[in-house]
Structure 1
Amino acid sequence: MKKYIAISVFIVVSALSNAQNSRKLDTIYANDQKNTALFFPQPITQGITGSTQFVFTYNREKQQNFGLLQATPGEESNLLVICGNSIYSYIVKYKKQLSRLNYFVTESESIGNLKSTALISLKQPESRKDVTNKQKHYKEYAAFLLSKKQRKSWLKEKNQGVVLSIENIVFNASELYFVIQVSNESSLDFDLNFLNLSIQTRQRGKRTSVQTLLEQPILQYNVPAKVKANDTKRFVYVFSKFSISKDQKTILELNEKNGARNVALKISHRSINNPH
């Protein structure tokens, strides 16, 4: 196995002044219908909420100066944001009606600074703890999406009373979240065999052929084994971020166990390449 040299940074929080410690934290309000945007004077390197009912999203790959906050009803919590060497902390609360959607943060609102020391070390594979934390984040964000009232499905396909639809495709961090719904409008229960997402590429030449590549989800959240007659189930598939060209199609295929009510839903490149 190759060994890569990387920089690991040990961060030590500097002491806060008495004035900073005594300053009352500002309150930011959010809900599940709109995005509350926070604009910082420096790119965001880390953002953490104290409760899963609040979700703070920001670009982890290409650091940017803004992040988006959403919330579901519940108790208040807190939000900690690190930008460069500056630390910002806020109380966050759910509010059904928002009078303010944009917050422009100034450097004077920082509650403290970071002092960093860089040391040369060997890069190690992801620890079990890191993997567990990622899985926890995927599950929490998937649960958050299911708790939100989605817009009317714009992608759906039906076969013999079984309706497969995509409520939303959301990009978060470096993953794509597919919010999926299966409705059984028939009088027979539907037993799920598998639900696969694949990319089809048309190969042009003397003989036209189609190459199919199966995309493996990194998380399947709340997936049912059965959808009873006249019932509906909603769940989430999480994939590592991908995009497709105009010559490619994405197919979401629902297969019935010991049955023929199979449904194949075609997804355009626009829907995949322009998630919410």
Structure 2
Amino acid sequence: MKTYIIAIMAFCTNHIMGQQPLDTIYANDTKNVALFFPEPIRQGITGSDNFVFTYNREREQYFGLLQAKPGKESNLLVINNNGSIFSYIVRYKAQLSKLNYFIPLSNSIGNERPNVTDPIQVETSKKSIDNRTYYYQKFCSYLLDRTQHIGRINHQNEGVILSVENIVFDKEELYFVIQIENNSTLDYDLNFLNLSVETRQKGKKKSLQRLYQEPIYTHNLPSKVKENEIVRFVYVLPKFSLSNERRAILELNEKVGERNIELKISHRFINNPK
């Protein structure tokens, strides 16, 4: 236990180096100086025998009492039951002007169980994400530049045509190459473009249930398609396959207007990407 306390005190000394100096608490041998903490005291120790810090060791309480005998200054370390650490310089003083200290949580120099994130792990994870995003960008650009092979799957409403030009499988992702063509005289403002999996329920009461598929990356997704404009972009989703009772639904919704489109994609195209 003594080794454990010394280790914590050494940690506190190293932690406060370079920070503002510790506050000083004065005590003597004729009066009790009371210290009130924001959480019950679990442990308290002084660095020198001429200072004594007493607290209830059997039933945790919010306060402790400090007394001192003449001698060199020392330090006081207190740990609350939530792991908060408090550290002070303590000095002997014959005449005391303050007998009660109310310690705010903001005075804590740290926690006994700090939530430390491994910088190497964070950097590695960040590089992995950056590399994956970079790969998505490059592969999506490649798909938009090349000739598509799947054949057009499209549906239109009031001169606005929604098409899936290609579905490509690469690594663990499906890439949907999508096109919106606006042949109307009004700009088309996108509210959302969702891809869902629709399940046709069997039985006397046939019903449809849709499960939204969250894209992990979108490339060149527009917010507006101007009149007589064609835009092409890519949705990247985690790999999935569909049974005969299911199909994918691409739902295009206009922000202010009713030119909404639902494009149905057969399970054959999902299960047999290029």
Give the TM-score, by structure 1 length: 0.53
Matches within 5 A, 1:1-276: 127-151=125-149, 153-276=151-274
Partner Cα separation in structure 2 for residue 162 and residue 253 of structure 1: 13
**Matched residues, number:** 154
Which is helix-richer, 1 or 2? 2
CA shift in 2, pair 1:246/1:191, >3 Å? same
Partner Cα separation in structure 1 for residue 201 and residue 231 of structure 2: 36
CA shift in 2, pair 1:261/1:228, >3 Å? same
What displacement does 1:150 show? 2.4
Does the aligned pair in 2 maintain the 1:153–1:165 contact within 8 Å?
A: no
Q: Which SS does the other structure have where 2:136 is aligned?
A: helix
Relative contact order higher in (CA < 8 Å, ≥ 6 apart): 1
What fraction of aligned residue pairs are identical, expressed as a percent?
Answer: 53
State the AA in 2 paired with 1:174: E
Partner Cα separation in structure 1 for residue 258 and residue 186 of structure 2: 12
What displacement does 1:207 show? 2.6
Cross-structure match for 1:94: none
Partner Cα separation in structure 1 for residue 155 and residue 262 of structure 2: 7
Q: Which SS does the other structure have where 1:187 is aligned?
A: coil
Greater gyration radius: 2
Does the aligned pair in 1 maintain the 2:182–2:225 contact within 8 Å?
A: yes
Does the aligned pair in 2 maintain the 1:142–1:236 contact within 8 Å?
A: yes
Structure 1 stretch 196-205 or stretch 225-234: which is displaced more?
196-205
What displacement does 1:153 show? 4.1
Which is strand-richer, 1 or 2? 1
Does the aligned pair in 2 maintain the 1:146–1:179 contact within 8 Å?
A: yes
Runs of 4+ in 1 over 3 A off after TM superposition: 123-126
Q: Which SS does the other structure have where 1:258 is aligned?
A: coil
Which stretches in structure 2 are left out of the alignment for 5+ residues?
Answer: 1-120
Does the aligned pair in 1 maintain the 2:197–2:211 contact within 8 Å?
A: yes
